[in-house]
Amino acid sequence: MQKKRSMALEKCPTGIQGLDEITQGGLPVGRPTLVCGSAGCGKTLLAMEFMVRGAIKYNEPGVFMAFEENAEELTKNVASLGFDLNDLVKKKKLLVDYVYIDRSEIEETGAYDLEGLFVRLDHAIRAVGAKRVVLDTIESLFAELPNPNILRAELRRLFRWLKEKGVTVIVTGEKGEGTLTRHGLEEYVADCVISLDHRVVEQISTRRLRIIKYRGTVHGTNEYPFLIDETGFSVLPITSIGLNHKAPSERICTGIPRLDSMLGGKGYYRGSSILVSGTAGTGKTTLAIHLVNDACKRGERCLYLASEESEHQIIRNARSIGIDLAPWVKKGLLRFNVTRPTYYGLEMHLVTVNKLIKEFHPAVVVIDPITGLTNIGTLDEVKAMLMRLIDLLKYHNITTLCTSLTHGGDHLEQTEVAVTSLMDTWLLIRNIEYNGERTRGLYVLKSRGMAHSNQIREFLITNKGIDLTDVYVGQGMVLTGAARRVQEMTEQAEGASRREELRRVKRELERKRVLMEAKINEIRADHASAEEKLVSSMKEQELKEQVLASERVVIAGMRKADVSSGKPGKGIGRNSRRAR
Amino acid sequence: MSPTAKTRKSPGRSTKQKAASEEWHLKLYVAGQTTKSLTAFANLKKICEEHLKGKYDIEVIDLLKNPQLAKGDQILALPTLVRKLPVPIRKIIGDLSNTERVLVGLDLQPAPKEVQP
């Protein structure tokens, strides 16, 4: 399971969630590791889990040498974490040896050594063939044995002896003042030191783990939060994941067709993170419900992390917009996890989500709202936690929708927890107040890697779900709601009358054109008749002249006139010339 | 300094007829024949002969041979002398070279240290 690095140092996987990732494989094989921390920080549990996981998962039997609790107490204590020590003991995979000395019973009468401890340990190791040994807390011997000098010398010998044995050892030690352990165990165990811490800040406790030193290997150096819950110990090395998650180009539907088209026509990217911010009552949850419903329809699993409404309330409210989530819950496609943010610390939230993801394998996660978390930590902490959470979800390729409540007075394009830079898609729903009416407008503020719409859409919550309509944009203003309707109707009416007017003008013009053409025809007809008249009168004239000429010849003949007669001769001469 | 290899040695059997409460049952835990274990046995024998003559019973347990026995009496330091009887159980660690402390530890010398300033 663990990737073994080709390094000189061999590592022994602890099987503890996350610890192997930080240590890059586990604890150093055949060497002692010191686990130190103050009382109640989980030293014994870490050691016990190392033992139990080793026995179950890696088939490496172990010896647990307890100096503080007896076997029975230990069994009971870890039973609540799901470990059955009795069973392991029966199977000879684990041996618990309780070492106890009562100071009052003991009288020191001369030179002694701790060979008895060696003998016992040796016997136990042989009995189960142990590969792992835990000494919890060997320092208590300092309180029980009178001579610390002997003890120190013997401890040094013990660790050397254990190294020779080749067993991987966890030694626990109580934190001292200014030192890692009360009696300076770190002097003897110098290969790997892990420090556990349990801090309470603003009434909320956080457990943290840090590897102080690990000889011969690289390791995560941060303080990592860890948890102890009913399945044991888990460390969250989420900051060590890094930004190397895959970015699939697959798209998933938003559940609202119009929103899909706003987001380049196809919806969100799978595995992306979506932030829906808006003031109270703008329909953020409704938007989330759409996504969930659509994903469930496709048969994908959804995890709904609610912190303000109960499961039933969400289901009931979803019904009011015509979406029934109950069947999905019944089918096991939808799971609600409802917890008050203040119920436990940030880290616990993170781990809970982590666990749910590992258990349920959702394709879509809704966090409604993320702003609830600000109650339980400082802004920086919340931001760091959300960053890890989002990284985690992205790592698992889960589409995440977070809602974020913006307070009325705040700048809208800003969320309470400054996480917007982590988000791939940011939808902003805002109230638009105009003329005594409140309507909602939805923008896509950003959406990485897609050509999204820059326009505002009116966001309507109907009994059939969310509907997005175009807002009125024109004449230098943006109108929504009733104002938009009024404006649209006014415009419609105006348009109609304008069109009517135009039609009228057109008709008039047509009429005029007809008239004009009629006139032209008339003139043309007049002209034609005049021409005709002229031609006919010319013909008549010619005819007349011909007749006249011929008559003159006849008369002249009759009068026997000669050509050179007086006055009329001129005319006669001309005429006669023409006649000739 | 020879008989430490024996697991059981009871030189005072003859005085067994004394009252049961007066019977001393002592166990000496050692690991092999080291200098410390041999010294311890010798010291113990000397003290017993001196103070408990005839009413004691010493059992020497070599943990190298019987390591499983260490658990029962919660043996850690070696050598350890355990007074099983009379009750209550007392444990004395070390090679028993400080006779005075051994006597106090065995309740043979009723806390002389406390009286002395």
- Residue A426's DSSP bridge partners are A275, A446
Cα separation, A318 vs A188, in Å, equals: 63
Nearest CB among B31, B94, B105 relative to A119 is that of B31
Question: Taking CB atoms and an 8 Å cutoff, what residues of chain A touch B39?
Answer: 110-111
Contact A107 B78 (CB under 8 A): no
- Residue A193's DSSP bridge partners are A34, A213
Residue B85, chain A, CB below 8 Å: the answer is no
Alpha carbon A477 to chain centroid, angstroms: 33
Closest CA to B38 of B72, B78, B89, B90: B78
Residue B79, chain A, CB below 8 Å: the answer is yes
Cα separation, A381 vs A434, in Å, equals: 39
Cα separation, A564 vs A573, in Å, equals: 8
Residue B68, chain A, CB below 8 Å: the answer is yes
SS (H, E, C) A76-105: HHHHCCCCCHHHHHHCCCEEEEECCCCHHH
Provide the residue-wise pLDDT of chain A in tens; the chain has 580 residues: 444 444 568 889 998 878 888 888 889 999 999 999 888 888 888 999 999 999 999 999 999 999 888 888 889 888 888 888 899 999 989 999 888 877 777 788 888 888 888 999 999 999 999 999 999 888 888 888 888 888 888 889 999 999 999 999 999 988 888 888 888 888 777 789 999 988 877 666 778 888 988 888 888 777 887 878 777 787 765 554 556 677 778 888 888 888 888 888 888 888 888 988 888 778 888 888 989 999 999 999 999 988 888 889 989 988 888 889 999 999 989 999 888 877 777 777 877 888 888 888 999 999 888 877 777 777 777 777 788 788 888 888 889 998 888 776 556 565 665 677 778 888 888 887 777 777 888 888 888 888 888 878 888 888 887 888 877 776 666 777 777 778 888 888 888 889 999 999 999 999 999 999 999 999 999 999 999 999 999 999 999 999 999 998 888 888 876 655 555 544 444 454 544 4
Torsion angle defined by CA atoms of residues A277, A280, A282 and A286, in that order, rounded to the nearest 10 degrees: 80
For chain A, the residue count is 580
Residue with the two structure tokens 């009496």 = B73
Closest CA to A28 of A201, A166, A203: A166
Closest CA to A53 of A24, A28, A79, A83: A83
Residue B105, chain A, CB below 8 Å: the answer is yes
With beta carbons less than 8 A apart as the criterion, state whether A467 and A321 touch: no
Cβ-Cβ contacts under 8 Å for A498 (sequence gap 6 or more):
none
| Interface confidence (ipTM) of the complex | 0.78
Q: Which residue of B has its CA nearest to A96?
A: B71
Cα separation, A182 vs A175, in Å, equals: 6
Indicate the SS3 state at residue A161: helix
What count of other Cβ atoms lies within 10 Å of the Cβ of residue A7?
Answer: 12
With beta carbons less than 8 A apart as the criterion, state whether A14 and A150 touch: no
Cα separation, A460 vs A353, in Å, equals: 32
